[in-house]
Chains A and B, each alone.
Chain A
Amino acid sequence: MSTVSWITLRGLFGRRRFLLLLPLPAILVLLAVLSRSLGVEPGEWGPPVLVGLGLAVVLPVVALIVGTGVLGAEIDDGTVVHILTKPLPRWQIVLPKLAVAAGVTAVTVAVPLCVAGVLADSVRLGLALAAASAVGALAYSALFLALSLLTRRPVLLGLVYVLIWEGLLGSVVSGTRVLSIQQYVIALADRIAPTGLLQGDVSVPVAAVMSALISVGFTVLAIDRLRSFSVAGETS
């Protein structure tokens, strides 16, 4: 493991905000287990739990906490200077951090989603949700990592994207769904395991291409921003 990812992991799990990651996946599994054991029809509890909670809330929020944490937290407390005063090309800093963010998010989200998917329909749906949310974890992480270099309020801006753009506008204005990672994840999961539970609004090619574009585009942007990283001056 590279030194950058080692420090990033230590930093991530050494901070208390890591504990924020635990309740949401737990609630997801709990609701799925509860619905299943009470004998509720999967058609009734599937969409609200899998999509409404799992893909619309748990995945982006966990990605937001982790994605803004791997670099944003270090920028906030100034420790980023230690990594930046090294003769490392900046991609050697961004890529390990992105890998940690996407990996931690994917594990945290894919496992409960997989369990919920299995309980709702089949092992196939469980695996489909896990795989699609891993793709989503990468795209979200790239976005939020770049946000932490573009603004001093990455968490706020990330929340605006998740809640307003994907949540509110996505359900009202259908055109915004083309630019919604959540919709890509739904489309991909539905493609891998077609069930009546997931309702994809974008086509699979669009979802795949856009996920890749977002992941690569924001990563390149983050690397470029980190090259010109400025320490905030006294007067600013």
Chain B
Amino acid sequence: MLEMTGITKRFPGVVANEDVDLTVLPGQVHTLLGENGAGKSTLVKILYGLYRQDEGEVKIGGERVEITSPAAAISHGVGMIHQHFMLVPTLTVAENVALGLHGKRGLADMAPVRERLMEVSERHGLVIDPDAYIWQLAVGERQRAEILKALYRDARLLVLDEPTAVLTPPEVDDLFATLRSLTSEGRGLIFISHKLAEVMEISDEITVLRDGRVVGRTTPSETSREGLASMMVGREVRLGRDVSDQDTGQDRLVVDGLHVRGDRGNLALEDFSVQVAAGEIVGIAGVSGNGQRELAEAIFGLRPIESGKVEVACRPIATPTPKSVRRRGVAFVPEERMRHGAVGELNVSENLMLVEYEHRPYVRAGLLQFGAIAERCKDLVRRFTVKTPSITTQTSHLSGGNIQKVVIAREFSADAEVLIVAQPTRGIDIGAAEYVHERLLSKRAAGAAILLITEDLDEALQMSDRVVVLYEGRAMCNLPRAEATTDRVGLLMTGVSEDAPAPA
């Protein structure tokens, strides 16, 4: 039903797509697989009229089409489920669906929209309240609204851009059931993901992109997760990691009965406690938005603590400010590396020195000692394999993975005994992620106490000695590695407690 041939799209300085072919058959789930920046999103944005290709042609149902705008894409039966939902939070579900449709005589009469929406939602088992405002909905419901928007317009070809990134494992199962019902009706699906297990489960065909080019086409029965990973990265990749048990020391970080308020005055953390011992990684798993950010900020003195206490090395921190917390030997890799981890406008060496610039030998009599700084930075860049033209390159010009390496080089090189690491591999490529994991393990081997906050369930389970699931600000469990299975933790992430019935 869809044939894209010879698609090339250039941006200043990069070729995002080069001679890409993609064919999707009716009733098929066709997966686009690739790392960040491989060109998956560019390709589907061309299909949806958000970008215009420089070369190549698009055929839908055998006819050559020019897709110059999303409106044109919609009229050709293309629907898109965006990675960052394209929903207006202050409008209701029905209003979001009606947006862009032409009402009778210019009136936005919601009654017929609501009626048809309910019909479509029932047919596909996508339960939703049409009169709820988007901001009131949970992430899974928002995604249903996003899918319904496309189905309401009777999209025959649906593009799903990383639809599982924000979902809990049970929600992923529900989504996949929906997708199968859509293909059984003869709709074609383009599924974008970099989660290999999901790709193996849902795909009929897989096209792998790397650096904007198609590097392979396969089906799940012909390949394996390792095979897919190797195609994505372009070299052998070993998935999974054997983390040997090691003895732990004293508790270095103790969080006890923490209550913290979120940005909107809501209780973001409620009676939250966790202990991390020397030589131990404790993973905080959970869907983001359940108090993870507030936890890291509270420990690091960036957010006031309402009650409860934080102890580092058996002594409470009286007035937590980033400076006093750092002085006690705590380092922090924040989840938003471009907003809180690094200053994009500063160069690599300036970012590397942000913590230590006030100390000798890097400053004398108030003057920065550029010789000592350059020496230190060159050493860090080499040891942490940061790919940068020079230490004076502006940091925002580096790739996400390399910016993260700069942050990690700065935070891990200090003699911190406690590391707060939030979403360390989000949005970076497999190679850089492997590297971050190695560094975490070597810090663990050196006796650091590490609190690893991550929404990547595989990462949490693979790296952690113990797993704490955070749900709506509360700790749902504290499981040792051997007991933390995907199913068990995945269920806890949805708020289903093990010793209580499911919440109503």
- Do A and B pair up? The answer is no
